[in-house]
């Protein structure tokens, strides 16, 4: 080619190595997927509200276990559970995380079928504050100035929501916030991979699920098998349960725990909208102020997170 002529650029252009997705970006996308899914999941549990919460819990365990076995088997990762057995500490961690996720699952199902979705959303609004506290106390994470402002606004909003209650402390909300906050921390520190750890947890819960099925069958209270529609809905509890948890653990392993906490505001915000606009649960002006403070906190924290990711 002559010196005076430009060389034509190759098409399509070769991929730029520096544009590969960063772990933080992947973590944010996984977190967004998990929390958007969880924000809409009350619709599913309303659809199975006629079924005993204990039977729904048992189906969540069994169908999640089957789904994860197929997933891990197709990818040749069934040995990923081995990371759970490396040390006694790892075994104790997965036993505790298993108990915590079972408590959280049952508590949320109970909230939906008893028309307490607003209280459940309060619990998940509290959860980011629990995550920030655990991140600072256990992981040594530090908060930037704008993040402290966000935490202050969110704390004020949660305190106002709590003060508005006339039924005493919101025990269900506290149960949901505490159990899921500790669960996420344990999974972040676990040596097991994302799906392997969840597979171990559901396998540990499987005997309890089998016992629940036997008990309900003996009492002739088993809903599964009575009609095709209900049976299909209960079988769908597998992907409904496992997919967002896989996304959540993938995000928890890539992001600061405080960041995970504030991404979680998405789920209770959607749950709140469903509770008020679709399920017609009571909601007054004072509650609107409280939720508004929490949403402003989410906005400020998101701005700070975006700046930090851009600088990195």
Show me where the domains of the chain are located.
Answer: 23-311
Query: Lowest-confidence range among 92-96, 107-111, 139-143, 195-199?
Result: 195-199
pLDDT digit string, tens, across residues 212-251: 999 988 888 888 988 899 999 999 998 898 888 788 878 8
Query: Lowest-confidence range among 12-16, 109-113, 126-130, 158-162?
Result: 12-16
The secondary structure of the chain, three-state, reads CCCCCCCCCCCCCCCCHHHCCCHHHHHHHHHHHHHHHHHHCHHHHHHCCCCCHHHHHHHHHHHHHHHHHHHHHHCCCHHHHHHHHCCHHHHHHHHHHHHHHHHHHHHHHHHHHCCCHHHHHHHHHHHHHHHHHHHHHCCCCCCCHHHHHHHHHHHHHHHHHHHCCCCCCCHHHHHHHHHHHHHHHHHHHCCCCHHHHHHHHHHHHHHHHHHHHHHHHHCCCCCCCCCHHHHHHHHCHHHHHHHHHHHHHHHHCCCCHHHHHHHCCHHHHHHHHHHHHHCCCCCCHHHHHHHHHHHHHHHHHHHHHHHHHHHC
pLDDT bin (cut points 50, 70, 90) of residue 267 is: confident
pLDDT digit string, tens, across residues 270-279: 888 888 888 8
What is the overall mean pLDDT for the chain? 80
């Amino acid at each position: 080619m002559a010196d005076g002529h430009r060389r034509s650029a190759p098409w399509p252009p070769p991929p730029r190595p520096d544009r590969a997705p960063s772990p933080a970006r992947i973590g944010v996308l996984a977190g967004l997927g998990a929390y958007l899914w969880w924000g809409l999941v009350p619709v599913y549990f309303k659809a199975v509200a006629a079924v005993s919460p204990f039977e729904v819990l048992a189906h969540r365990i069994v169908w999640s276990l089957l789904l994860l076995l197929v997933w891990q088997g197709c990818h040749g990762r069934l040995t990923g559970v081995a990371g759970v057995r490396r040390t006694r500490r790892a075994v104790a961690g997965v036993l505790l995380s298993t108990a915590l996720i079972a408590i959280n699952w049952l508590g949320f199902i109970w909230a939906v079928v008893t028309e307490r979705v607003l209280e459940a959303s309060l619990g998940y609004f509290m959860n980011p504050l629990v995550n920030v506290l655990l991140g600072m106390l256990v992981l040594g994470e530090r908060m930037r100035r704008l993040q402290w402002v966000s935490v202050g606004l969110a704390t004020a909003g949660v305190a106002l929501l709590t003060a508005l209650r006339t039924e005493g402390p919101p025990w269900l909300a506290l149960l949901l916030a505490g159990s899921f906050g500790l669960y996420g921390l344990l999974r972040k520190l676990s040596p097991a991979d994302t799906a392997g750890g969840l597979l171990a947890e559901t396998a540990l819960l499987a005997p309890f699920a089998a016992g629940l099925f036997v008990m309900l069958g003996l009492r002739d209270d088993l809903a599964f098998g009575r009609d095709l529609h209900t049976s299909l809905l209960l079988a769908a509890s597998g992907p409904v349960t496992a997919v967002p948890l896989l996304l959540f653990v993938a995000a928890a392993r890539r992001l600061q725990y405080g960041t995970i906490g504030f991404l979680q505001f998405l789920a209770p915000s959607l749950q709140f909208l469903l509770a008020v606009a679709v399920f017609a649960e009571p909601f007054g002006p004072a509650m609107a102020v409280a939720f508004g403070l929490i949403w402003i906190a989410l906005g400020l924290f998101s701005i700070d997170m975006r700046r930090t990711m851009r600088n990195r």
